Structure 1
């Protein structure tokens, strides 16, 4: 089985990699449609030739890195199962679930860290990222610690529920997920986000008043605007509204504040306020909960089938054996990937609605177009990405679509 796994993994991955190269390098056309050439959505009208080439080159490398490394996590989990390492990790952890989760999480983190580092080097080489290695490592260690802690809690609860009810554990797990995700949305702005960056109140009182006037007119309960110090990490531009209840925050990246005119900043903030007005935060929560319900049920159905067929080869006694955790994580990752295009489509629709709201509130399509142009320039954004990339990765409409909408 191990030799077959290695042989078929090599054959399938090589075929997949060749297909990715063919699709991105040969078959994909990075140009915009002929009927919009010369318009504000045509990069040749607002970017120099050298800038266009650099952005397209960066986009191609970035898409290649994503697609070529996409199956790596699946191969790691499958390899752990096929080679019996899931069982070996369990013994090394002295059959203690928290220690087992820590070993498993640490192993995957170490094996995938080079991929993250390649992404960092790519962003640095094209002047999108400016993050020092020390800050990059610090952020990754914080993420690893938080992810591992949450995985330990989730695993303890999950395996406890499996022991309590072999037939209903998936439903009980989902019911517990509802308050957990709601609570996480509430605490994220004040407890999680500050672990990565510093947040200060916007020092430009006039601009803050303008943004808060927009927020007040839209019913957003905010009394200040925050600025986050993203310039120590990136040259890209962004802003967001997150949190619920009295922890709701309106946040501007300092890169956005420094790079855009006031009217362009107001459009960006009107877009973010639009998410609140249209209840996108709550709708997103409901969407995650609905997807989790389906995912947990599928997990409940698939686990016994796979273990019946491969349990002896994987040296896993049953669903309640903690050595089954790599299989659970593998299935969760695959199911998440399968659901990703749906999630991205829903997100793109929400972002389009927020754009429309901002255009209606500000009445300034020129500011919108100017903001989009600067976001493309500073973030080296792919204006018209390949269709597959759009459906897999883009939670926003493409920049081509957003600018075209503003022109209309």
Structure 2
């Protein structure tokens, strides 16, 4: 009863218009998932039905006599055309709606500039990935689904490795967190948890939006601890410690590697479905679209359309897997920072863009993190179970 009363006391701090706005923003996202899928399917259908994808392939074949290079050249106009077709939807969901809910701090020019950077990255990554995938299809026509999944899992691993060093700085400025109590606390927790803490970075997320975030990103030599300026400016020392201890938990518990392994299994299922479904669809409509077979780069819109539907269906499964990791990191963070009230109060601050108290089915389907109510209740339960501060926490303060 004491735990529930303490939990309710926190949850009741979000009332009236603030709670209604938070719920409306997050619940609107449910419909965005459906409409976003339909917009993507329409875009891919248009590229196939109008022959645009086939024309991109024809151009790439004229541009180079090297067959292996054709998918890489095709990737550039394909990525640009895809982005342009769905741009009105991207503009509404990524800029207009965010402004409407007062979550966006970026100007239109700034937003467009970062969209352009993202498109450039998509072209480069798409060229590499399509070169590998279509090489696999040509060389292993009976097992390409298996090797294709392995290749995508490898790309995911490499992306996790290089993103903190080469990708993230394209969007934000990273600098060493200044010396002071916050840094000292993070360093102490990191060392106690055996997490590399030679560098702790602060990045300027506030130039884009008002969201609080932090991470321990990278793999091996690129591991780095980062937090954004929104967290530093909006949170107390106790709240910041709770967040950073949670992020350290992801590293200590090996969640990055676990997630890559889980994604590899999801990729395997997805590629197997492509292997089974794409040839049958091409047998029916491929001639109309100008797509020869599954080894033709012009099939990319069909692959993408099937993948979008597959990942929408898989979303509750993926959310559950990620949510389980987040819950583990929450428990680790509570035991490391020993700041249950800081953890609870920062969970409430996240309610600006996360529904605080969803139903069970709602949380299962749509939440890739535990809801605010779940997290506050966990914090209050931990507080009740640890009335005397554990000795392991005292060196961290």
Q: Provide TM-score, normalisation by structure 1.
A: 0.84
Does the aligned pair in 2 maintain the 1:348–1:397 contact within 8 Å? yes
Does the aligned pair in 2 maintain the 1:43–1:383 contact within 8 Å? no
User: Structure 1 residues 255-264 or 76-85, which shifts more?
Assistant: 76-85
* CA distance 1:349–1:289, shift in 2 (3 Å): same
Give the drift of 1:277. Answer: 1.3
* CA distance 1:66–1:168, shift in 2 (3 Å): closer
Give the drift of 1:145. Answer: 1.0
- The equivalent position to 1:407 in structure 2, one of 355, 375, 380, is 380
Does the aligned pair in 2 maintain the 1:239–1:269 contact within 8 Å? yes
Q: Tell me the distance in 1 between the aligned counterparts of 2:27 and 2:150.
A: 42
- The equivalent position to 2:356 in structure 1, one of 383, 389, 401, is 383
Does the aligned pair in 2 maintain the 1:222–1:248 contact within 8 Å? no
- The equivalent position to 2:252 in structure 1, one of 269, 274, 277, is 277
Provide the residue aligned with 1:4 in structure 2: none
**Could you list the per-position Cα deviations for residues 144-176 of structure 1 after superposition, in whole angstroms to 9, with x for gaps in the alignment?**
111121111222222222222311223333343
Give the drift of 1:206. Answer: 2.6
- The equivalent position to 1:104 in structure 2, one of 75, 78, 82, is 78
User: Structure 1 residues 164-173 or 91-100, which shifts more?
Assistant: 91-100
Provide the residue aligned with 1:85 in structure 2: 52
Give the drift of 1:82. Answer: 3.5
Matches within 5 A, 1:269-308: 269-308=244-283
Matches within 5 A, 1:19-30: none
- The equivalent position to 1:52 in structure 2, one of 19, 35, 41, is 19
Provide the residue aligned with 2:170 in structure 1: 195
Provide the residue aligned with 1:17 in structure 2: none
Matches within 5 A, 1:331-370: 331-370=306-345
Is 1:74 matched with 2:41? yes
- The equivalent position to 2:92 in structure 1, one of 111, 114, 118, is 118
Give the drift of 1:41. Answer: 4.5
Secondary structure (helix, strand or coil) at the match of 2:227 reads strand
Give the drift of 1:264. Answer: 1.0
Unaligned runs of 5+ in 1: 1-34
Secondary structure (helix, strand or coil) at the match of 2:197 reads coil
- The equivalent position to 1:231 in structure 2, one of 186, 203, 206, is 206
Provide the residue aligned with 2:126 in structure 1: 151
Provide the residue aligned with 1:208 in structure 2: 183
User: Structure 1 residues 176-185 or 72-81, which shifts more?
Assistant: 176-185
Q: Tell me the distance in 2 between the aligned counterparts of 1:334 and 1:65.
A: 14
Does the aligned pair in 1 maintain the 2:291–2:299 contact within 8 Å? yes
Provide the residue aligned with 1:170 in structure 2: 145
RMSD: 2.4
Secondary structure (helix, strand or coil) at the match of 2:226 reads strand
Provide the residue aligned with 1:396 in structure 2: 369
Does the aligned pair in 1 maintain the 2:49–2:289 contact within 8 Å? yes
User: Structure 1 residues 39-48 or 208-217, which shifts more?
Assistant: 39-48
Secondary structure (helix, strand or coil) at the match of 1:241 reads strand
Secondary structure (helix, strand or coil) at the match of 1:331 reads helix
* CA distance 1:51–1:176, shift in 2 (3 Å): closer
Q: Tell me the distance in 2 between the aligned counterparts of 1:115 and 1:36.
A: 44
Provide the residue aligned with 1:323 in structure 2: 298
Q: Tell me the distance in 2 between the aligned counterparts of 1:250 and 1:334.
A: 35
Q: Provide TM-score, normalisation by structure 2.
A: 0.86
